[in-house]
Amino acid sequence: MADRTGSWLLNLSAVSESLPVFASAGYYSYLKSAHFYVQEMEQLEHTHPDMFQKFSNGLHVIRRSDQYWAGLSSDLAIEQTLMRSLKSSGGLTWGSGMTEEQRSLWTMSAPNTAEYNKAMQELNDLSYTTSDQHKDLTKARMRDASDLQKLKTKLLSCSPSSEDSSLRNVVGGVVANPHENVLEYESIGKKIIENMIGQSAFRYSFKRKNKAITLGDVSAIKVAPDQSIDPALLFQRLLVVAKTGELSLEYVLGYELSPFPPALFEIRNVFHKPDKPQLAHAISDHLKEAGVDPPQSTPQTEHYVLDGGSLLHQVPWKKGDSYSAMAESYADFTIRKYGVATVVFDGYNGGLSIKATLTKGV
């Protein structure tokens, strides 16, 4: 509303009220920037009275029409005008390239092309027009009584608050535990802001544990100190049973419900460190139990199969070499190190490439 109506005081009020939200949600970069912005703009009347007068008259927003509700912030105006012309047909990023000369030519010619565009619109009677009615007031945008009734029915059947006034997911019905304090986001945010006051903006660091804890922060249900269950995966398993009816619940829940395999990962997306000596001992013990003596040396191989991607990093390229010279250097290296070998690359069906050339040379 502050941007649409061009209200400067409402803009400062909206940003100020957003500070506790940024703090409790953990958006600390937004918090620092917005906090500094509010401090500077509150002093604008004394530091730059002429600029304050212009902003008070609604000139801190951009208008493309004279409508009351047509104000736009500068970033939205840039997206609707400059970025649209950049990304649409004939724009800078539409097949013309991004070299320095092309950027300069496009930028310098933009004012002239804009005049031509305006003249063509006026000639064809297609110039920019507007109406007194806002598009959100049209019949297509207005919510009717049936939509409100559907929303009311959903909230009555699955209220966002449980019997003990705890937060609850209206979709899954999961009730928040006492540690999830997202409902107290305002007091949490104000406490973080109080700790910021008097601190250096560049040296002060925020602690993640101080932000509000939401239902989304708990990614799994802990059933034991060393085990956890992914609720999304559990819901999918139950959904399969409910939809098909062919599988038994006991069979579906017989598989692991952890969000990641504990045998392979320490935490999510972090592999266990390989224990190669232990693997070697296990292989040796298995051979002994089978009555087979482990080999004492690596057997000679008559034919090697090489990874082409790894082979590309083995031979340094010399400046000025042709493709045939590089292919010969790879062939000499392969024959000298491995004798008879087959170099395997990934499939490249889009035409000849440097990898295809090297493979043919080897």
**Model pLDDT, residue 37:** 92
- Which of 94, 117, 136 is a domain's end point? 136
341 & 243 share domain:
no
Same domain, 311 and 287: no
Same domain, yes or no, for 267 and 314?
Answer: no
Q: Could you tell me if 351 and 258 lie in one domain?
A: no
pLDDT(51) > 60 = yes
Give CA–CA dist 341/305, Å, rounded.
Answer: 6
- Whether the per-residue pLDDT at 339 is higher than 60: the answer is yes
Q: What angle do CA 116, 119, 121 make, to 5 degrees?
A: 110
Q: Given CA atoms 14, 160, 212, 271 in this order, what sign does their dihedral have?
A: negative
Instruction: Tell me whether residue 212 is exposed, middle or buried, using C-beta atoms within 10 angstroms of its C-beta: 0 to 12, 13 to 18, 19 or more.
Output: buried
Instruction: From 171, 195, 191, 173, select the one nearest 181 (Cα to Cα).
Output: 191
* pLDDT at res. 362: 47
For residues 71-81, one letter each, b for 16 or more C-beta atoms within 10 angstroms of the residue's C-beta and e for the rest, the string is bbeeeebeeee
Residue at token pair 């802001």: 193
Beta bridge partners of 265: 271
pLDDT at 289 over 50: yes
Q: Report the C-alpha gap between 287 and 57 in whole angstroms.
A: 87
How many structural domains are present in the chain? 3
Residue 40 lies in a domain: yes
In the three-class reduction of DSSP (H, G, I as helix; E, B as strand; rest coil), residue 155 is classed as helix
Say whether both 51 and 130 belong to one domain: yes
Residues 114 and 6 in one domain: yes
pLDDT surpasses 90 at 303: no
C-alpha closest to that of 92 among 81, 105, 76, 74 = 105
Residues 312 and 226 in one domain: no
Comparing 359 with 335, the larger pLDDT belongs to 335
- Are 229 and 354 within one domain? no
Q: How far apart are the first and last CA of the chain?
A: 68
- CA 325 – CA 329 distance, rounded (Å): 6
Enclosing domain of residue 121? 2-136
Angle, CA 72 vertex, CA 69 and CA 76 arms, to 5° = 145
Predicted local confidence at residue 137, as pLDDT: 66
Cα-based angle 238, 240, 244 (whole degrees, multiple of 5): 125
pLDDT band at 320 (very low <50, low <70, confident <90, very high): confident
Name the nearest CA neighbour of 19 among 219, 138, 163, 191: 191
Q: Residue type at 152?
A: K
361 band by pLDDT with thresholds 50, 70 and 90: very low
23 & 127 share domain? yes
Kindly state whether residues 48 and 115 are assigned to the same domain: yes
Mean pLDDT, the chain, whole residue set: 79
pTM of the entire structure?
0.50
Separation between Cα atoms, residue 342 and residue 358, nearest integer Å:
12
* 114, 136, 158 - which closes a domain: 136
Categorize the per-residue pLDDT at 142 as very low, low, confident or very high, splitting at 50, 70 and 90: low
Indicate whether 356 pLDDT > 60: no
In this predicted model, what pLDDT tens digit does every residue of 229-279 receive, in sequence order? 677 777 777 887 777 777 777 877 777 776 667 777 777 677 777 777 787
* Statement to judge: residues 126 and 7 lie in one domain: yes
Q: Do both 111 and 227 map to the same domain? A: no
Helices of type H across 49-99: 49-56, 74-78, 84-87
pLDDT tens-place string over residues 161-214? 666 666 777 766 667 777 778 878 899 999 998 988 888 877 888 888 888 888
